[in-house]
Structure formats: structure tokens, C-alpha cells
């Protein structure tokens, strides 16, 4: 059994760790509320924008609706991979990297990676072609920052550098649950025409002009929503991970306290036996 000094040192060390993990849990919980509010407010806008595009494009020739809707031969693919800049969030980052590897294993086309988050960049920089590293986007995150790099992706797509664009991220379900999602960003998936449904809308300006304005907004909003989902998921995952770490540290501390008490009791018992033996030896003289 370890000596008393060693056990006391371990108890002190674990107590310090508990303070850190507990503080990180509280910080993550505070940040989660703000991030959760942001994604909850954006989702209805994103859904309504998609619905509006579906209504405007109903009855149109999908190949002629927009540059961003036309299907073409797939030669090059871009994956926008959203992770965090920091760890200590359980399987939050590794699950996204695992999904990326799964998607890469299924494709034979040339692939480039747009890393949104340092963990994504670190995971792919040595093995894959990195199109861009946007880890700094999390510093004062806002729509304009996401819009800027998404605009460049859209430009490269129009010029034929990429034939398909996906985004891989953690979708926020609740504080304890995140779901890894892979969504197609470009070309955007238009709704199938429903048989027997006649659509007769009057547009001013034309439906094509309306869609040419709405679709880029929808693409940027989709990427921004994925990043907001990821931010909320990160704080939820970190809060859960730190809660479990604190509980495990408390259990280990309790076990060490019991061992410490046993060791101290054994030491006291040994000292008493030495005193009694010494007394008995004196009596024998």
C-alpha cells in the first residue's frame, strides 16, 4: 500500500482537477445557452427560405433554375468539415473526423477539405489537400465571416473547380445529444415535381431572377446554420464531458480517502504494537 504522503498528494491533485473540470462545466453551460438561442432562432428562417425557394421553383425546369441547381459529372468534391478549435469535449471532434473518413472511403473522385476548426485542420493537413483553413472564423463568429468564405466556395463551384460540395458537422439535438450530419450544399437539392399538381404563380421580376437572389442566400445560411449547430453541440458535449470527468474524479477521490484512512489506521496500529512490544520487553527485564 502507498505511504500516507503519496496518497495525500494524489488526493490534493485530484481535488485540483475537480475544481478545473467543474469550472469548465459551468463555463460551457453558460456558453451553451447563448449558442442554443442562436441556432433556435436561425432554424425557422432557414426552413422558411428553403420553403420559399421550393415554391418559387415549382414547375420550373430544374436544370435552368440556377447555376447552383444543375447536376454535372462529378470529378472534384469539396468537404466543409466543421469541428472546434479546442478539445476536452468527449467524442465531439473525433466523430466528425470519423464521418469524414467514412465519406472519403466511399468516393473515388478528387477531394479537397475546407477545415472550419483547428481539430479538423490538424486531422487532414498531412493526408489530404486542404482547400482552406477557416479556424479563425470562431473568433467573434457572425454571418458575414461565414458568408465571405462561402462566397469563394460558390465562385469556385461556378468556375468548375468543384462539382459537389458537402458540409459535415454535429447537429445540436440537446445538451447531451449531438448527431453527426453530412449535407449536400452544392448543387442544391430541389424538390421533385408532384404529379397532378398545377402551379400557377405570377412573378415580378421573373422566377429565375428571384431564385438567383434567394439561392445564394440559402447556401450561405445552410453553411452558417451548420456552424452554429456545431458551436452549440460543442458546448453541450464539453459540459457533458466535464460533468462526467468531475463525477469520476469524485469517485476516485472517495476511494483514495478510504485508502488513506486504512493506511493511517494501519500506521497507528503498528505504532501501538511497537509500544506494547517495547513495554513487554521492559517487563521481561
Do 222 and 280 lie in a common domain?
no
What are the pLDDT digits (tens) for 24-55? 999 999 999 999 999 999 989 988 888 888 77
Tell me, what's the pLDDT at 262? 86
* In the predicted structure, residue 209 carries a pLDDT above the cut 80: no
* In the predicted structure, residue 193 carries a pLDDT above the cut 60: no
8-state DSSP, 145? H
Do 162 and 276 lie in a common domain?
no
* In the predicted structure, residue 195 carries a pLDDT above the cut 70: no
Instruction: Output the pTM of the full model.
Output: 0.84
8-state DSSP, 191? P
Do 30 and 152 lie in a common domain?
yes
Is the four-CA dihedral 88, 92, 94, 97 of positive or negative sign?
A: negative
Tell me, what's the pLDDT at 252? 92
Do 234 and 272 lie in a common domain?
no
Do 213 and 253 lie in a common domain?
no
Structural domain of 53: 22-191+200-240
Domain count, the chain: 2
Tell me, what's the pLDDT at 194? 52
What are the pLDDT digits (tens) for 75-101? 999 999 999 999 888 899 999 999 999
Do 231 and 252 lie in a common domain?
no
Helix (H) or strand (E) holding 199: none
* In the predicted structure, residue 192 carries a pLDDT above the cut 70: no
Do 155 and 247 lie in a common domain?
no
Residue 235 belongs to domain with CATH number = 3.40.1380.10
Cβ atoms 144, 151 nearer than 8 A: no
Do 12 and 35 lie in a common domain?
no
Furthest CA-CA distance within the chain: 120
What are the pLDDT digits (tens) for 214-267? 888 999 999 999 999 999 999 999 999 999 999 999 999 999 999 888 888 887
Do 278 and 161 lie in a common domain?
no
256 CB contacts (<8 Å, ≥6 apart)?
7, 10, 11, 14
Tell me, what's the pLDDT at 253? 92
Do 226 and 249 lie in a common domain?
no
Do 39 and 139 lie in a common domain?
yes
**Cell 452544392 identifies what position?**
186
Cβ atoms 83, 97 nearer than 8 A: yes
Nearest to 112 by CA among 134, 83, 156, 79: 79
Do 162 and 264 lie in a common domain?
no
Calpha distance 175→262 (Å, rounded): 40
Amino acid at each position: 500500500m502507498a505511504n500516507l504522503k503519496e496518497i495525500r498528494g494524489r488526493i490534493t491533485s485530484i481535488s485540483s482537477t475537480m475544481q478545473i473540470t467543474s469550472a469548465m462545466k459551468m463555463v460551457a453551460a453558460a456558453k451553451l445557452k447563448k449558442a442554443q438561442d442562436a441556432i433556435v432562432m436561425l432554424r425557422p428562417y432557414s426552413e422558411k427560405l428553403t420553403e420559399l425557394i421550393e415554391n418559387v421553383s415549382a414547375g420550373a425546369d430544374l436544370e435552368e433554375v440556377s447555376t447552383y441547381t444543375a447536376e454535372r459529372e462529378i470529378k472534384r468534391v469539396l468537404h466543409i468539415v466543421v469541428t472546434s478549435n479546442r478539445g476536452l469535449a468527449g467524442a465531439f471532434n473525433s466523430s466528425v473526423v470519423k464521418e469524414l473518413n467514412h465519406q472519403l472511403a466511399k468516393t473515388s473522385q478528387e477531394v479537397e477539405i475546407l477545415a472550419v476548426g483547428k481539430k479538423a485542420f490538424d486531422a487532414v493537413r498531412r493526408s489530404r489537400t486542404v482547400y482552406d483553413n477557416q479556424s479563425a472564423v470562431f473568433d467573434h463568429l457572425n454571418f458575414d465571416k461565414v458568408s465571405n468564405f462561402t462566397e469563394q466556395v460558390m465562385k469556385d463551384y461556378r468556375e468548375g473547380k468543384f462539382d459537389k460540395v458537402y458540409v459535415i458537422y454535429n447537429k445540436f439535438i440537446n445538451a447531451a445529444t449531438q448527431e453527426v450530419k453530412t449535407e449536400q450544399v452544392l448543387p442544391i437539392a430541389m424538390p421533385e415535381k408532384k404529379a397532378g399538381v398545377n402551379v400557377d404563380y405570377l412573378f415580378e421580376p421573373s422566377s429565375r431572377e428571384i431564385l438567383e437572389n434567394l439561392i445564394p442566400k440559402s447556401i450561405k445560411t445552410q453553411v452558417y446554420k451548420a456552424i452554429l449547430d456545431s458551436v452549440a453541440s460543442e458546448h453541450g458535449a464539453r459540459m457533458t464531458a466535464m460533468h462526467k470527468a468531475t463525477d469520476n474524479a469524485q469517485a476516485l477521490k472517495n476511494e483514495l480517502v478510504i485508502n488513506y484512512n486504512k493506511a493511517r489506521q494501519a500506521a497507528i496500529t503498528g505504532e501501538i504494537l511497537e509500544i506494547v512490544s517495547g513495554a513487554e520487553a521492559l517487563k521481561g527485564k
